Amino acid sequence: MKIEELLSQIITPKAPEAKPAAGEANFAQQLQEILAAQGSAEPQAPAALGNVSAISPVGEVNRTPDEVLNLVLTHLDSYQEALADSGVPLKKVASLVQTLEQDSQRLQSLAQNLPSSSPLKQVMEETAALAYTESVKFNRGDYV
C-alpha cells in the first residue's frame, strides 16, 4: 500500500452500514410504502404564496451611493412639501419620517465604506444627519 492510501483510510474511515434490526424497515422501504399509499410518486406543486404585496422590495441592493443619495434627497423634498401642505394627514407624514430614519441609517453605512477623501462621503454624512434630525424633530412634536 502507498502512504497516500493509508492516510486516506485513516482520515476518512469507512462507516459500517447500519442494517435494520429484524422486523424493521429501512428508510427507503418506508418511503416507498408511503408514496405507494398516496397513489402518486410524482412531485406535487407547492402551495400558493397568497398575498405578498405587503412585502416591500429591497430597491437599494444594486444602487450606487450617489443613486441612494439622490433618493434620500427626494424623500427629504417630499417631507418638506408634506409639512408645508396643511391638508396632508399626519399618518402620511409619519410614514415619511420612518423612511427618513431608514434613509439616515442607510446613508451612514454607505458613507463608512467610502474613502475619507471622497467629497461624496461628506455630503452623504451631512444628508444622513439632516434626515435623522428631521425625524427626531417630528417624533418630538416640534411640527405639531
pLDDT of residue 88 exceeding 50, the answer is yes
The x, y and z cell numbers of residue 81, run together, are 412639501
pLDDT tier for residue 61 given thresholds of 50, 70 and 90? low
- The predicted model scores a pTM of 0.55
DSSP the chain: --HHHHHHHHHSPPPPPP-PPTTPPPHHHHHHHHHHHHT--SPPPPPP----TTSPP-TTTT--HHHHHHHHHHHHHHHHHHHH-TTS-HHHHHHHHHHHHHHHHHHHHHHHTS-TT-HHHHHHHHHHHHHHHHHHHHHHTTT-
Domain boundaries, the chain: 65-140
Q: d(Cα 123, Cα 75) in Å, to the nearest integer?
A: 16
pLDDT tier for residue 130 given thresholds of 50, 70 and 90? very high
Q: Of 102, 120, 98, 101, nearest to 111 (Cα)?
A: 120
Q: d(Cα 31, Cα 17) in Å, to the nearest integer?
A: 19
pLDDT of residue 10 exceeding 70, the answer is no
Q: d(Cα 134, Cα 120) in Å, to the nearest integer?
A: 21
